[in-house]
Chains A and B, each alone.
Chain A
Amino acid sequence: QVQLVESGGGVVQPGRSLRLSCEASGFTFSVYGMHWVRQAPGKGLEWVAVIWYDGSNDYYADSVKGRFTISRDNSKNTLYLQMNSLRAEDTAVYYCARDSRELRPGHTMDVWGQGTTVTVSS
């Protein structure tokens, strides 16, 4: 079945780095744009980043621009989020999500992973 599985979360000190992964299965990963969305404890959803199906374009929320990088390896059916210069306010559950439209993203997210928790604390 269609599935996304995140990994790589953990506890990290402020200023350090972490890389999240999202492994896709059950669909043709290489034709879909992909998103990262996060949710701070007890808060709402915050979109983080999107990457085109072929990695040719990416966009970021202002809150992470210049610190986070989204990427993908279509040969491994895997999406990544490289997070640098982490701050306490980056503490959240991070979800990867599939865009519902093939090729150019339409920014509707129809398949979600279970999430991985990132805690930034000294």
Chain B
Amino acid sequence: DIQMTQSPSSLSASVGDRVTITCRASQIIGSYVNWYQQKPGKAPKLLIYTTFSLQSGVPSRFSGSGSGTEFTLTIGSLQPEDFATYFCQQSYTVPTFGGGTKVEVK
């Protein structure tokens, strides 16, 4: 199975900050990475698919980049509703998820 290593596992930030989360795959997976947001007690929500593409309805402050084995989710200017946990997931083969990054209030 392809392992997805996500970092950091948590971070503290303030409204307006630029936030970057990284995911590293255990092998080359092209652009087959998705990013999800999850709030406490809620189901995950798809934010970005195939590295760069923004899911319908997702604000443009979210962006994705990377290729091969290194991928990044960036929140351009953190908003109050963005405090949540974020997961990467590879879709190159049967899915595997990263361990998650909890974005907390500084």
* Chain A contacts to B: CB under 8 angstroms: 35, 37, 44-47, 50, 59, 61-62, 95, 100, 106-110, 112-115
A113 CA to B44 CA, complexed, in Å? 9
Taking the closest CB of chain A, its distance from the CB of B91, in whole angstroms, is 4
Q: Is B64 in contact with chain A by the CB < 8 A criterion?
A: no
> Are A47 and B94 in contact (CB-based, < 8 A)?
yes
> Are B49 and A112 in contact (CB-based, < 8 A)?
no
Query: Does more than half of chain A's interface fall in helix, strand or loop, or is it mixed?
Result: strand
> Are B100 and A110 in contact (CB-based, < 8 A)?
no
Count residues of chain B with CB under 8 A from any CB of chain A: 25
Q: Is B96 in contact with chain A by the CB < 8 A criterion?
A: yes
Taking the closest CB of chain B, its distance from the CB of A58, in whole angstroms, is 11
Contact of A107 among B38, B94, B99, B100 (CB under 8 A): B94
> Are A100 and B97 in contact (CB-based, < 8 A)?
no
Residues in chain A near residue B94, CB distance under 8 A: 47, 50, 59, 61, 107
Closest to B94 in A: A59
Q: Known interface pairs A106-B91, A107-B91. Does A112 touch B44 (Cβ–Cβ under 8 Å)?
A: yes
